Chains A and B, each alone.
Chain A
Amino acid sequence: MLTVSALSVSYGAIRAVDGVSLAVPAGTIVTLIGGNGAGKSTTLRALSGLLRAQAGTVTFAGTDITRLPPHRIVALGLAHVPEGRMIFANLSVDENLAMGAYLLRDRDRIAQNRSEVLELFPRLGERLRQSAGTLSGGEQQMLAIARALMGSPKFLMLDEPSLGLAPRLIGIIFEKIQEINRRHGLTILLVEQNARLALEVSAHAYVLETGRVVMAGPSTDLRTDPRLKAAYLGG
């Protein structure tokens, strides 16, 4: 569904992503793992159009999206839940959800999506009128995911949903991610530093180091790979 070939992205003179190729088949969860500064977030930002690719091509559902601006890419059904959540802290929880449905014009559809995401994350339902800035970290992550789902995406990119959350909450978030994939058939590209968890929920994995893919394969294989064990899974 998403094919990335030889993608390179730089910040000024610094090349953060260097010739990355990967593929995410429809209906699957694929993970991109790697340490801090490996280039994971940069890759996602280039895929969603927030950053310009220096080289390479990105094809989404048969369309070349390499040079499209973010709002055109979202319109095609590719949603990006960015690192740090980036919820609108000046808006209410409900208004954040409305922003997620910004491109939908059909009111019934919006109402249906809203009740679906509130069913998925009942805690948000109790806080609809509250300013989103007052939510806890876990609730903000739920809101960020719910907001992305409001637009009826076909493809979801999640950047470190576990970041800064207590273990119990991480468990809940990851259950929801799997539920979204199973129930709604949404294709997911999951970026994580928590490799153990990411390999558990995904079908396929890519390992990024200083902007390059250094390892790739089915997640079950990588889980037992000695090199990966030493570097990311704590021996």
Chain B
Amino acid sequence: MIEFLQQLINGLGQGSIYALIALGYTMVYGVLRFINFAHGDVYMLGAFAGLYVAPWTLRLFGGGPSFAGAAAVLLLAMAVCAAAGVAIEWLCYRPLRHRPRLNVLITAIGVSLFLENAGQSVFGADPKSFPEIIADRALDLPASWGPFAMLTITVGQLLVVGVTLVLLVGLRHVVRRTRLGLAMRALAFNPGAASLMGVNNGVVIAFTFGLGSALAGAAGILTSIQQSSIDPLMGVNAGLKAFVAAVLGGIGSLPGAALGGVLIGLLEALVVGYISPTYRDPIVFAVLIVILLVKPTGLLGGTEREKV
């Protein structure tokens, strides 16, 4: 029982990462009906942005690890990724807006390969050690918790889950309560009708890329808190897993992406804990196949309306 709980706690951290990345896939799918295969690599860019800005942000906040310094690293990485996402959309996808969807899909794969290879030549192909931006340590659980006091919960885990929750609440606010969020939802349903309301669809699409990429950037930093080694290909696997999470939750559904991410994270932890790390990836991808066969609209995805 305790061990099971421990696996869930471990899985929640990784699940938060998948959730944040999956949101970007699902938002872009919502407005453009295409899978941005370069999204996982934006997450990698976030981690490297953190690697480069961390030394001087940390110095700015007193030298050692600190929450303020970590927050600054997080926000800067999110900003860098938002800019990268908007630039990718502008340079690579926008010119293909009125071409067959397959063209832009293939372009996305090209952008992904480009980022991975450019990453290896600019950052170096070998893994880099991410600096300690917060002092990560296991919490001392009070003895009054009885057997639960044996659980290991780290500051890093709490931070990852907490920051993810804050970002999810923030995203929900943007999507449901702001003018751009409303336009995003209208555009996702019917781009032509949205433009008849005066929406500049290009601006909303760029905003969507920026928002999704910022979340991927945050995931890049949060992951580096949990495992300190980063490399230019780290986005490949994480991107694929998050894509599975988005499909599991129902592509196009924001709560679905968050739920799918957490479920995939938990599933991985349980497979690693009870079966074998060898089966982690095969089982996650088997989930993709099963969901596509059994319920392609995912757990929370509505039935796709035919567009006229």
Contact = CB atoms under 8 A, between A and B. Distances in A.
B200 A71 contact: yes
A37 interface: no
B70 interface: no
A232 B305 CA distance: 34
A82 B193 contact: yes
Contacts of B189: 88-91
Q: Which has the most chain A C-beta neighbours within 10 Å: B182, B190, B193, B308?
A: B193
B179 interface: yes
Interface string A52-69: 000000000000000001
Given A48-B196, A147-B197, A91 B185 contact: yes
Contacts of B188: 90
Interface string B181-222: 011011011101111111111000000000000000000000
Nearest to A96: B186
Interface string A80-117: 10101011111100010011101100000000000000
Interface residues of A, number: 26
A70 interface: yes
A20 interface: no
Given A88-B185, A90-B185, A91-B186, A82 B197 contact: no
A86 B185 contact: no
Nearest to B190: A86
A103 B305 contact: no
Interface in B283-308: 305, 308
A50 B192 contact: yes
Contacts of A103: 197-198
A95 B193 CA distance: 14
Q: Which has the most chain B C-beta neighbours within 10 Å: A71, A84, A100?
A: A71
A210 B186 CA distance: 33
Contacts of A80: 196
A74 interface: yes
**Interface of chain A: mostly helix, strand, loop or mixed:** loop
B198 A102 contact: yes
A88 B199 contact: no
**Interface of chain B: mostly helix, strand, loop or mixed:** helix
Contacts of A147: 197
Nearest to B201: A71
Contact of B186 (A69, A70, A99): A99
Contacts of B201: 71
A88 B193 CA distance: 8
Contacts of B190: 86, 88
Contact of A88 (B179, B186, B198): B186
A151 interface: yes
Given A82-B192, A86-B190, A102 B199 contact: yes
B116 to A, nearest CB: 35
Contact of B182 (A86, A87, A95): A95
B199 A86 contact: no
B196 A70 contact: yes
A69 B192 CA distance: 11
B196 A82 contact: yes
A80 B179 CA distance: 21
Interface of B: 179, 182-183, 185-186, 188-190, 192-201, 305, 308
29 contacts: A48-B196, A50-B192, A50-B196, A70-B195, A71-B200, A74-B195, A74-B198, A75-B198, A82-B192, A84-B308, A86-B196, A86-B308, A88-B189, A88-B193, A89-B305, A90-B185, A90-B188, A91-B182, A91-B186, A91-B189, A95-B182, A99-B199, A102-B179, A102-B182, A102-B183, A102-B199, A147-B197, A151-B197, A151-B198
